[in-house]
Chains A and B, each alone.
Chain A
Amino acid sequence: MSIAAYLGILIRASTKLHFIRGMPRALDQHSAVARHRSLDLLTFSESSKVIIVASPMRSPYPLLQNRYAGELIVVEGIDGSGKSTQLSLLSQWLRAQGYAVAFSEWNSSPLVRATTRRGKRREMFTPTTFSLIHATDFADRMESYILPLVKAGAVVCADRYAYTAFGRDVARGVSRRWVRNLYRFALRPDLRFYFRVPLDVAIERILSGRTALKYYEAGMDLGLSRNIEESFRIFQGRILDEYEAMIDEVGFRVIDATGSIEEQQREMRETVMEVLGAHLKTGVLKSPAGDSHEAERASAVL
């Protein structure tokens, strides 16, 4: 891919006006870019030239800064990016070192779950109500789980966060600005990992690993295609575009999710130590002796 084309993508991404299609595959060849994208300055080198693109777009609605003792780590990416596997390995590793680790999954609030299930089963959702019920679910987990635990000094690991809504709801036609404001009550995570994977790879993983795609997961409510696999492909492609376009805004640490499980996990752990290392030693709740059994299991992965 030419530099001009890449810059074009960046400019479009930073103004959040257009979709980009097929980005990840092209960018996989430039792992240097992937590694540095989360910095405020982005360095891109090709044929010994270095171009610096400064001042990434800032969100109009920044999330609340974490001023508490604990840490919040989130993973994002399209279905089939392997983020859940990586987060569970990471949390095992942290727990093995004795840290208080809590886990929060998207769409898991006990107060809201029945309503979401009802809406899905009867196919009652519009883009607006789909967005609002997921924000309600998130709010409940934020208010009664994530925030109190972070305040108490735990490391909270969240599988999907507000950024999932920024991708998915916008792919459904909800306004970017509105959904960003909607989640303004959320705590800003200390680390935000984005698992970048080409669409084809992710879809192959999903279709080979599971039996049936679900209606909303495939974006069937949008009438993109009558074929559920085709609809899924188009819908996931849109979400991927949104993720790519929000990298600078969110400050994602981009992980190449086509790499081996071990490689990805090593990179995650390095990043955690680099960014949170000092704070993990001082602020976070830790039991004097870690669980040796867990420690063995965790270290066995690498």
Chain B
Amino acid sequence: MKPKEPLQFYSEPLPDVDPSELTGTLIVIEGPDAVGRTTQINLLRQWLEREGHAVLHSGMARSALAGKGIQEAKKGNTLGPVTMTLFYLTDFADRLENEIVPALRAGFVVLIDRYIYSIMARAIARGEDRLWIEQVSGFALVPHAVYYLRAEAHELVRRVVLGRGAFDYWESGMDMRFGSDMHQSFVRYQTKLVRAMDRMAKQYDFTVVGASRPSEVIFRELKDHIAGLQLGKAREIVSHRRAARSR
């Protein structure tokens, strides 16, 4: 087995971060709204912890700095597309610098529910410049693996209606009024997102996982992939540190 590749930044290294110190594993779960990401992340987390790994789970709009501000901004009716993109990127940067990087330094397995790709896809779906958003997001670390849970828009409609029973304003892209009602706007917006994400899947080397299958089957597939990522090394480092501390 070849040794795990050290982490790298896309194009814009963060000041004060030495990637060679980041001994943990960075795993990203991507995919559209209602595709079942949360279910998979919970299953993966339990499994990884049972296996003895230290796991950090981080998701969008949960930063100490900007999480609350984003929730507030989404309640109103004035949040523009560029502002939204940059607000989410601020939130991401805060989590990257204050949660993700420290956890990677300590050898954690870091599970991320949506990374810069979702922010980029939303920006592109709203007509923002692709190169602009790619370069602005360049301070992100290249993950060890990105699992893209993929489903077509009509499948997402089925899941939303059967599950939650109602369309969400932002998930339907209603800020851009892609259609005359929530359903039409949802289908058009989610179709744009799937298209943007499909393109990124090639560009950024995602592992595409068909999401229109039972969650146990998807979980098994993810588990098999992740088992091949050499997580053991990270665990060793953590246990060395623990041993050092107890001595």
Size range of the chain A interface in the assembly: 20 to 34
One of B27-35, B89-97, B239-247 contacting the partner: B89-97
- B68 is an interface residue with CB less than 8 A from chain A: yes
- A182 is an interface residue with CB less than 8 A from chain B: yes
Q: List 29 A-B contacts (CB under 8 A).
A: A111-B78, A111-B79, A111-B87, A118-B65, A118-B69, A119-B65, A124-B64, A124-B65, A126-B94, A129-B65, A129-B93, A129-B97, A132-B93, A133-B65, A133-B66, A136-B83, A136-B86, A136-B87, A139-B82, A140-B79, A142-B82, A143-B80, A143-B83, A144-B78, A175-B12, A178-B139, A184-B132, A185-B128, A185-B132
- B237 is an interface residue with CB less than 8 A from chain A: no
B80 and A132 form a contact (CB under 8 A): no
Which of A126, A132, A175, A181 is most buried by chain B, counting CB atoms within 10 A of its CB? A132
- B136 is an interface residue with CB less than 8 A from chain A: yes
Bound together, the chains give a CA A181 to CA B138 distance in angstroms of: 11
- A276 is an interface residue with CB less than 8 A from chain B: no
Whether A112 touches B87, Cβ cut-off 8 Å, given contacts A144-B78, A144-B80, is yes
Whether A111 touches B76, Cβ cut-off 8 Å, given contacts A129-B94, A173-B15, is yes
Residues on A with beta carbons closer than 8 Å to the beta carbon of B89: 132, 136
- A114 is an interface residue with CB less than 8 A from chain B: yes
Contact with A along B118-130 (1 / 0, CB 8 A): 0000000000110
B93 and A181 form a contact (CB under 8 A): no
Instruction: Output the nearest chain A residue to B72 by Cβ-Cβ distance.
Output: A114
- A11 is an interface residue with CB less than 8 A from chain B: no
A112 and B93 form a contact (CB under 8 A): no
Contact with B along A105-134 (1 / 0, CB 8 A): 000010110110011000011111100110
- B215 is an interface residue with CB less than 8 A from chain A: no
- A135 is an interface residue with CB less than 8 A from chain B: yes
Residues on A with beta carbons closer than 8 Å to the beta carbon of B87: 111-112, 115, 136
Bound together, the chains give a CA A144 to CA B81 distance in angstroms of: 10
Bound together, the chains give a CA A144 to CA B78 distance in angstroms of: 7
**A residues 172-203 touching B (CB-CB < 8 Å):** 173-175, 178, 181-182, 184-185
**B residues 34-90 touching A (CB-CB < 8 Å):** 64-66, 68-69, 72-73, 76, 78-83, 85-87, 89-90
Pick the residue among B66, B72, B80, B90 that contacts A140 (CB under 8 A): B80
- B135 is an interface residue with CB less than 8 A from chain A: yes
Report the interface size for chain B: residues with CB under 8 A from the other chain: 33
A115 and B12 form a contact (CB under 8 A): no
Instruction: Report the 6 A-B pairs with minimum CB-CB distance, sorted nearest first.
Output: A143-B80, A115-B69, A136-B86, A132-B90, A139-B83, A140-B83
Contact with B along A135-158 (1 / 0, CB 8 A): 110011011100000000000000
- B14 is an interface residue with CB less than 8 A from chain A: yes
Q: Given A139-B80, A139-B86, 12 other A-B contacts at CB below 8 A? A: A111-B72, A111-B83, A124-B64, A128-B15, A129-B65, A132-B93, A133-B65, A136-B86, A140-B79, A178-B135, A181-B135, A185-B82
**A residues 216-244 touching B (CB-CB < 8 Å):** none
Which of B79, B80, B82, B83 is most buried by chain A, counting CB atoms within 10 A of its CB? B83
